[in-house]
């Protein structure tokens, strides 16, 4: 992969990609896993989370989280919030796909976000969104979310950041072509 030198280069440690997995409880969707990837695509935080309420459906088909994954897990949402708030500051840029769902599950608010579902809009416009796996296949020529066991939040986080790096590279090439005309 090509490294991009940009105005952000001094702030790369302040860019993270985030993905969450959720299950269904009596109170609706609750967090069961969170993964944070840094600018270098390294997994810097990945933990399973014990929901506050009894689980009705692990949502394994989509989340990849099983009863076995959560057996013995005691990490609470509050502990996750404390870790994330120690990493993420006001000037940190969060990248993800449909980030509003992740932030709702985390019960956090953050204003500096880059959402791939917005950057790569559906041709019919909102409320429609393109699937992350389709964006990754089209733009990166990579297959993700191909596991019958469900999604992998590291794979999804990494894909979002790779999509944005790819978009930045393509936009720079386009700008260079326009400047050379």
Q: Does residue 6 belong to any structural domain of this protein?
A: no
Number of structural domains the chain divides into: 1
pTM of this structure:
0.85
pLDDT at 138 over 60: yes
For range 1-6, the mean pLDDT? 33
Could you tell me whether strands 93-96 and 55-57 are parallel, antiparallel, or unpaired per DSSP bridges? unpaired
Structure tokens at 46: 């990945």
Q: Does residue 98 belong to any structural domain of this protein?
A: yes
pLDDT given at position 48: 96
pLDDT given at position 150: 63
Q: Does residue 156 belong to any structural domain of this protein?
A: yes
Q: Does residue 104 belong to any structural domain of this protein?
A: yes
Q: Does residue 93 belong to any structural domain of this protein?
A: yes
- Alpha helices, H only, the chain: 60-63, 67-70, 77-87, 99-106, 116-119, 132-140, 153-179
Q: Is the dihedral of CA 87, 88, 93, 96 positive or negative?
A: positive
Q: Does residue 179 belong to any structural domain of this protein?
A: no
Asked whether the beta carbons of 27 and 10 are under 8 A apart, the reply is: no
- What share of residues in the chain are helix, strand, coil (percent, to 5)? 40, 20, 40
**pLDDT (tens digit, 9 = 90+) per residue, 10-51?**
555 599 999 999 999 999 999 999 999 999 999 999 999 999
pLDDT given at position 143: 85
Q: How would residue 6 be classed by pLDDT, with cut points 50, 70 and 90?
A: very low
Domain residues for the domain of 167 are: 15-174
Q: Does residue 39 belong to any structural domain of this protein?
A: yes
Structure tokens at 92: 């940190």
pLDDT given at position 1: 29
Between CA 147 and CA 26 the distance in angstroms is 28
Q: For 75, list phi and psi in degrees, rounded to 5.
A: -60, 125
Find the CATH number of the domain harbouring 85.
3.30.420.10
For range 57-77, the mean pLDDT? 92
The larger pLDDT score, comparing residue 166 to residue 144, is at: 166
pLDDT given at position 2: 28
Q: Does residue 34 belong to any structural domain of this protein?
A: yes
């Amino acid at each position: 992969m090509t490294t991009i030198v940009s105005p952000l280069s001094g702030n790369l440690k302040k860019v993270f990609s985030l993905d969450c997995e959720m299950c269904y409880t009596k109170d609706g969707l609750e967090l069961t896993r969170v993964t944070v990837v840094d600018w270098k695509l390294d997994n810097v935080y990945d933990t399973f989370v014990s929901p506050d309420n009894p689980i009705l459906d692990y949502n394994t088909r989509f989340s990849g989280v099983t009863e076995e994954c959560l057996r013995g897990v005691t990490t609470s949402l509050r502990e996750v919030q404390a870790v994330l708030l120690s990493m993420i500051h006001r000037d940190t840029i969060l990248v993800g796909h449909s980030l509003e769902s992740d932030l709702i599950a985390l019960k956090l608010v953050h204003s500096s976000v880059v959402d791939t579902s917005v950057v790569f809009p559906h041709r019919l416009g909102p409320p429609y969104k393109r699937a992350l796996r389709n964006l990754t296949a089209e733009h990166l020529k990579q297959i993700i979310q191909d596991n019958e066991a469900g999604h992998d939040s590291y794979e999804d986080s990494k894909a979002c950041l790779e999509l944005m790096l790819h978009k930045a590279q393509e936009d720079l090439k386009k700008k260079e072509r326009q400047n050379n005309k």
